[in-house]
Amino acid sequence: MLKGKTVIFGVSGGIAAYKSVEIARNLVKKGATVKVIMTQAATKFITPLTFSTLTNQPVATGLFNKELSGEIHHISLSDEADIVLVAPATANIIAKVANGIADDLLSTTILATDVPVIFAPSMNSRMYLNEITQKNIKRLEAYGYRMVGPAMGELACGKGGIGRLSETDAIVEAVEFEIARGSDLKGYSVMVTAGGTREPIDPVRFIGNKSSGKTGYAIANELVRRGSKTTLISSPTCLPVPQKVNFVPINTASDMNRETIKRFDKNDAVIMTAAVADFHPLKTHKEKIKKDNIDELSIKLKPNPDIIRELGEAKGKKILIAFAAESENLLENAKRKLERKNLDLIVANDISKTGIGFGEDFNKVTIIEKDGKITEFPRMTKRAIARIIVDKLINLVEPK
Ligand code: CTP
């Protein structure tokens, strides 16, 4: 199950560090290459030699050592990784990552990686329940980091409570689960639309909207990561084109409509994140409109096709996911769009709130599914939301 996969295994300094030996052994047994990074504090509980003997790999203990794979540093480690596991994860490493602090090899590696990271917290109950630790954990979860545990039970201090490192099997299973998710869309083709369309008024001006494309690009990245053949149809944005996508640049709603319909048959699902203009100027001026002698200027608009609605009419077994940006009556309006457009799922977000939505890195969404299930999510990064949407998609597509 873990054959050919590289686990970067962070061990931070808690008494439960001795249990991480068993975890490393199980990961190796399952075929993984396990590269251990120990914090300085961890080396006080257990020796690097134990891990290097078990994993048959050098163990890294400092930001500037060259023990691991010759020229070792956080970037090369994060490049090699399929997954990062931190067990035990102390309150300290959780706090550091939650606040972007990178002052040792483990924290720099976590900050530099874009593969899934799992934390298995272990600490004294009072430390775990402390509001600051809780906030840090929530913050990490909002960024898409996974937590396993902690569990209830007897703690090193002799008292019972929450804070024990989860059982080895639960931690190894979580690693296997995340790795399996890395290819759960293999064999599928998914099309994503992103950005705000531009409807030309004249050669210089256009009618646009506030969409930055961040959600669509995050979803395209996640789809690629999960093994899907991914097409990204996008209006101009300031974002880098995700690697390994079939990128189709467009400008207008009409371009997007044409390019989406053209590829519809070859895809298993469409995720429509684009903010499509509902109207375009009836007439596009060939030359730049001059302001001289104009007191009042009207632009007549004509409706654009509703792309996802048209796809919904020819849906068959394909999965259709759309977004609903609403400034009022969020759920009612989103539900109406779900039905009217024959969708499987709609992601509703309230655009009247500041700090989330258009142009921001965060959003707060509610997902409504065809069977009526409604799930409200807390404020989280668009990247974390992308993962949730792709998880939902996997449950919706027919098995291959
Ligand atoms: N959409 C589309 N084609 C359009 C307009 C919207 O495919 N011409 C898609 C959007 O990409 C989004 C969903 O439909 O996934 C809902 O878009 P939204 O702008 O919230 O709703 P509209 O249908 O345009 O309705 P209204 O603007 O009246 O709220």
Query: Residues of the chain whose pLDDT is less than 50?
Result: 69-70
* Token pair listed for 49: 């030699």
Cα of 265 from ligand 1 centre, angstroms: 21
User: Is residue 280 within 6 Å of ligand 1 at its C-beta?
Assistant: no
Beta strands in 122-273 (DSSP E): 146-147, 151-154, 160-164, 189-194, 199-200, 206-207, 229-234, 246-249, 269-272
- What phi and psi values does residue 68 have, to the nearest 5 degrees? -95, 130
User: Is residue 322 within 6 Å of ligand 1 at its C-beta?
Assistant: yes
Residue having the nearest C-alpha atom to atom 4 of ligand 1: 306
Which of the residues are catalytic? 157
CA 268 to chain centre: 21
Q: What is the DSSP letter of 212?
A: -
pTM, two decimals, is: 0.83
pLDDT, position 277: 97
pLDDT, position 345: 98
User: Is residue 202 within 6 Å of ligand 1 at its C-beta?
Assistant: no
pLDDT, position 74: 63
The per-residue DSSP string of 7-61 comes to: EEEEE-SSGGGGHHHHHHHHHHHTT-EEEEEE-TTHHHHS-HHHHHHHHSS--B-
Cα of 325 from ligand 1 centre, angstroms: 8
Give the mutation target among 191, 207, 272 for probing the ligand 1 site: most ligand atoms within 8 A of CB: 272
User: Is residue 274 within 6 Å of ligand 1 at its C-beta?
Assistant: yes
User: Is residue 324 within 6 Å of ligand 1 at its C-beta?
Assistant: yes
pLDDT, position 143: 87
CB-based contact 225:182 (threshold 8 Å) = yes
pLDDT, position 69: 44
Terminal-to-terminal C-alpha distance of the chain:
19
* Token pair listed for 348: 């509703």
* Amino acid symbol at 123: M
CB-based contact 120:109 (threshold 8 Å) = no
Going from the N-terminus, what domains does the chain have, and what CATH number goes with each? 6-182 (3.40.50.1950), 184-396 (3.40.50.10300)
Q: How many CB atoms lie within 10 A of CB 69?
A: 14
User: By C-alpha distance, which of 204, 202, 199, 200 is closest to 285?
Assistant: 202
The per-residue pLDDT for range 93-147, each reduced to its tens digit, is 999 999 999 989 999 999 988 889 999 999 999 999 999 999 999 999 988 899 9
Cα of 142 from ligand 1 centre, angstroms: 27
The per-residue pLDDT for range 213-257, each reduced to its tens digit, is 999 999 999 999 999 999 999 999 999 999 899 999 999 999 999
User: Is residue 361 within 6 Å of ligand 1 at its C-beta?
Assistant: no
Give the mutation target among 209, 271, 308 for probing the ligand 1 site: most ligand atoms within 8 A of CB: 308
Residue 322, class by beta-carbon neighbours within 10 Å (0-12 exposed, 13-18 middle, 19+ buried)? buried
pLDDT, position 66: 55
User: By C-alpha distance, which of 141, 166, 165 is closest to 378?
Assistant: 141
